[in-house]
Amino acid sequence: MNTETKTKKATDTTKTIRISGSEAVVRSLLAEGVDTLYGYPGGAIMPVYDELYKFQDKIHHVLTRHEQGATHAAQGYARISGKVGVCIATSGPGATNLITGIADAQIDSTPMVCITGQVASHLLGSDAFQETDIVGISTPVTKWNCQVTKASQIPEAIAKAFYIAKSGRPGPVLVDITKDAQFEEFDFKYKKCKGIRSYNPIPKLDHKALEAAAKLINEAKKPMIVWGQGVILGEAESQFKAVVEKAGIPAAWTILGASAMPTSHPLNIGMVGMHGNYAPNVLTNQCDVLIAIGMRFDDRVTGDLSRYAKQAKVVHFEIDPAEIDKNVKTDVAVLGDAKESLAALLPLLEEKTHPEWHQKFKDLYAIEYEKVIKNDLHPTKEGLTMAEVLNEINNQTKGDAAIVSDVGQHQMIACRYANFNKTRSNITSGGLGTMGFGLPAAIGAKMAAPDREVISISGDGGYQMTIQELGTIFQQKTPVKIVVLNNEFLGMVRQWQELFFDKRYASTEMTNPDFVAIAKGYSIAAQKVTKREELKDAVAKMINTDGPYFLEVCVEKEGKVFPMIETGASVSDIRLE
């Protein structure tokens, strides 16, 4: 059978054909609907790359400049699209370079399938060239992984990988395939995985728990919702909005939950957590019923657990039983898929408005505006603030852009000030806090959603951790917009050093290169802004440029992000200055 004939049958999984393990990998990916994957070739995965070459009219391989970049690009692809992101690497250092992105995907519940090459099976355990026990290394940071040593195992392993990655609470999986399994021929037939014995990804909805939750919500005088990414992952945005509006409950979001409900919605009261908004943090310790939906009570959200919402009855809607009572003791736990649970909850709720309770949020917002927001957005000092840049981006994108942020001060500012009209618009590294996430994740996001404006927001520190991915943008001609907010510091660490270490700026000041020259070296249009009066036109030029664009904005060197909850403090002890 020639290559052309094979290619025509690439998506035909109803017939049994005799092919190599490496071809089986590609055919299995095609059967799962994969059209784009990210990776870097090497010796132990070369047979698969040879097949990708033959099938390049059906599946687009993106050569990143580092394997970590491949994982983050796959994450960005998954986060904006809801599909499974796919990345591929060789054995040894290629595989270990995936680990940071895999760990990031695990803690942020991002569906991702990673395929790694491995030395031949007869060399396993012999310390062969570029042999690493990637299954052992990745076990703590994957939802599931396996090693394949025979070609006949490949279809089932990949089918299970996609099913596990996407079902229930999503996460990353890894399939490690020995080189001899890639060469070996077998009779291939692909069957998608529809279930695995003893694996129950979606708990059965307990209607008694649902009724108990509705009773607490209906009786509440001062209810408050905190929602997380589970609303987005469960594609429950419309059901969530209906619940919030019918019950008239003020609703706050975690970083990863942002954009599930429009920023402008009157019941959206802002972000909770260490650098969240003043009102939802303070009033967490005054509400009488706290309704958590698709969030895990992360320490950056709760602060001191011994002083977190002790006065409140806690209702927790969650798909993962492991999260129930892990950090915060619940009064009612509703296990299940968010979409199903919220749809079933809606008819049980009474229509409420809670005007006096809402007024408390408005009053505290007014305090935050005067002490923080006004100074961030309309500073009287000479230096540009990060918030001004985000505000200008809001003005020119009308809240329709997807913001992909790196990690640091700029991330908190982006989450606080970006306007989101559409779901899946805030893409950032939440649980792991991975510097370097932003640029490659933006590449993946733009490829998955080419019709959306995708803007990468980075600091000068995180940007340089994956700056080599400019090469990927150059080669792929990906029209992503890149904004670097340059304060010549590792800003978040410097803020802590200023507040808690008597301004001993140990190893946080950055001596940076000419970022504009570097971008132009990759044939990316670029501009540097140093003055406030230059900002509006520079952002307009960036947005209106058809291809990729790099914009460096020099911001105040020692700016701080407030509000702030100090480590070990209560959420109600949040600082405004």
Percent of the chain residues topping a pLDDT of 90? 96
Taking alpha carbons only, the member of 72, 75, 68, 74 closest to residue 95 is: 68
pLDDT-derived band at 1 (thresholds 50, 70, 90) equals very low
Print the domain residue range for 76. 3-188
Catalytic one among 9, 56, 129, 219? 129
Determine the pLDDT at residue 15.
80
Asked whether residue 498 falls in the same domain as residue 394, the answer is yes
Catalytic residue at 130?
Answer: yes
Judge if 347 and 421 occupy the same domain: no
67 in active site: yes
- The CATH number linked to 154 is 3.40.50.970
Task: Tell me the per-residue pLDDT of 9-33, one tens digit each, with 9 for 90 and over.
Answer: 444 456 899 999 999 999 999 999 9
Query: How many Cα neighbours within 13 Å face the side chain of 329?
Result: 6
Domain-embedded: residue 223: yes
Q: Is 23 a catalytic residue?
A: no
Same-domain pairing of 85 and 165: yes
pTM of the model: 0.95
Residue 201 within a domain: no
Q: Which of 54, 83, 130, 468 is catalytic?
A: 130
Q: What's the token pair of residue 427?
A: 């893409």
In a domain, 288, yes or no: yes
Q: Are 400 and 421 in contact (CB under 8 A)?
A: yes
State the DSSP string of 185-199. Answer: EEEE-------BTTB
Q: List the catalytic residue out of 143, 160, 166, 179.
A: 179
492 is known as an active-site residue: yes
Report pLDDT for 507: 94
339 and 424 assigned to the same domain: no
Is pLDDT at 225 greater than 80 in this prediction?
Answer: yes
Q: Is the residue at 431 inside a domain?
A: yes
Same domain, 356 and 392: no
Integer angstrom CA distances of residue 246 from 242, 254, 290, 299? 6, 22, 17, 30
**Does 182 share its domain with 33?**
yes
Together in a domain, 342 and 392: no
Report pLDDT for 247. 98
Confidence at residue 13, expressed as pLDDT on a 0 to 100 scale: 57
pLDDT, mean of residues 204-229: 98
Q: Is the pLDDT of residue 2 over 80?
A: no
Count of helices and strands (H, E) across the chain: 25, 20
Q: Are residues 408 and 514 in the same domain?
A: yes
Are 412 and 329 within one domain? no
- Look-up of token digits 């003055």: 531
* Res. 6: pLDDT tops 50: no
Q: What is the rounded distance in angstroms from the CA atom of residue 294 to the CA atom of residue 7?
A: 42
Region 477-500: mean pLDDT is 95
The b-or-e profile of 157-196 (16+ CB within 10 A means b, else e) is bbbbbbbbbbbbbbbbbbbbbbbbbbebebebebeebeee
Q: Indicate if 390 and 539 belong to the same structural domain.
A: yes
Q: Each residue of 268-286: pLDDT tens digit?
A: 999 999 999 999 999 999 9
Q: Among residues 295, 492, 542, 564, which one is catalytic?
A: 492
Please check whether residues 229 and 150 belong to one and the same domain. Answer: no
Q: Is residue 199 in some structural domain?
A: no
Per-residue confidence (pLDDT) for residue 3, from 0 to 100? 44
- H helix or E strand, kind and range, residue 23: helix 21-31
Among 46, 50, 7, CA closest to 30? 7
- Residue 195 in any domain: the answer is no
Who has greater pLDDT, 20 or 380?
A: 20
pLDDT tens digit sequence for 368-379? 999 999 999 999
Q: Is 179 a catalytic residue?
A: yes
Residue 113 sits at φ, ψ, to 5 deg, of: -115, 125
Domain count, the chain: 3
CATH code at position 326? 3.40.50.1220
pLDDT tier at 381, thresholds 50, 70, 90: confident
Question: Is 180 found in the same domain as 36?
Answer: yes
